[in-house]
Copies of this chain bind each other. A is one copy, B any other.
């Protein structure tokens, strides 16, 4: 058996196309949508990611400002800049790129992003609103997981989903989004005893631990759906997920590829959130 490939590319293309239409309409109406990405790191893979967002934004007709504060920026400098962008009526979406300089608390700092412009759901207030069922942008990666499942018509109501990873960026918000869709949700993590026993009892496994190859065939029930959120850099400059695709593909029913799965949908959703923020 070989798992079906749950590509994110077609969904991402559809979201980007709809977003470009909305962006064009907003621009024609005198409100060119604008995204600001605040960077405070010299990290190379981060720089690569930011450039890919900027390129995608440009193609969609969204102005993208990269606000580089340098790797020496203090928490206060980052907060002040996020506050200024939050108050700037010409800016509709704000992304605070990670990693931040050592010692800067990402959660605390993200409180300075206006909720209405928090297109990557980084502000803890957005997470709380999401959990409480109030309007807010979800972190784009977490939303991408659910959108891919929906796009490929994977049923969620009453199904058991194991989320591996408890980060504020993916694990926790994806758990809330899945609960909203009536899934039974188990959140596993590095301290989970017998991870394979827990995940192999699930209909769907969401791998978001940030550890290359963590999820192997023994972690997956025959026929299960596996969503790979991992983006782990390889020594040769490539990218691998948290799932050992070679062994898992022989056992799972369906699997997202890396690259080409969650990643492109995430970027497309960041842009979609930005035009939605601009349309308000």
Question: Which residues on A are within 8 Å of B, measured CB to CB?
Answer: 107-108, 111, 123-134, 157-160, 166, 168, 172, 175-176, 179, 182, 184-189, 191-193, 198, 201
A168 touches which one: B131, B172, B187 (CB < 8 A)? B131
A129 to B182, CA, bound (A): 24
* Interface of chain A, main secondary structure: mixed
Among B127, B157, B179, B191, contact of A166 (Cβ-Cβ < 8 Å):
B179
Assess the A185–B186 pair: CB atoms within 8 A: yes
Q: Contact check: which of B128, B133, B158, B187 meets A184 at CB < 8 Å?
A: B187
Taking a contact as CB atoms under 8 Å apart, the answer to whether B192 and A184 are in contact is yes
Query: What chain B residues lie within 8 Å of A129 (beta carbons)?
Result: 107, 124-125, 128
CB distance from A180 to the nearest CB of B (A): 9
Contact at A182–B172, with CB atoms within 8 Å? no
- B107 touching A132 by the CB < 8 A rule? yes
B175 contacts A187, CB within 8 Å? yes
Q: How far is the CA of A185 from the CA of B176 in the complex (A)?
A: 13
Q: Which residues of B contact A128 (CB under 8 A)?
A: 123-131
- Residue in B closest to A203 when the chains form the complex, CB atoms: B193
Chain B residue with minimal CB distance to A201? B201
Complex contacts, A133 vs chain B, CB 8 Å: 107, 168
Question: Which 9 A-B residue pairs are closest in the complex by CB-CB distance?
Answer: A128-B128, A124-B132, A158-B193, A124-B128, A186-B186, A182-B191, A107-B132, A127-B128, A184-B192
State whether B179 touches A184 (Cβ < 8 A). no
Q: How far is the CA of A201 from the CA of B131 in the complex (A)?
A: 26
Contacts of A189 in B (CB 8 A): 179, 182, 184
Residues of B within 8 A of A172 (CB): 131, 176, 179
Interface core residue of A124, A166, A182 (most chain B CB under 10 Å) = A124
Nearest-Cβ distance from residue A190 to partner chain B, whole angstroms:
9
Distance in angstroms between the alpha carbons of A249 and B192 in the assembled complex: 27
- Docked pose: A191 CA to B158 CA in angstroms: 5
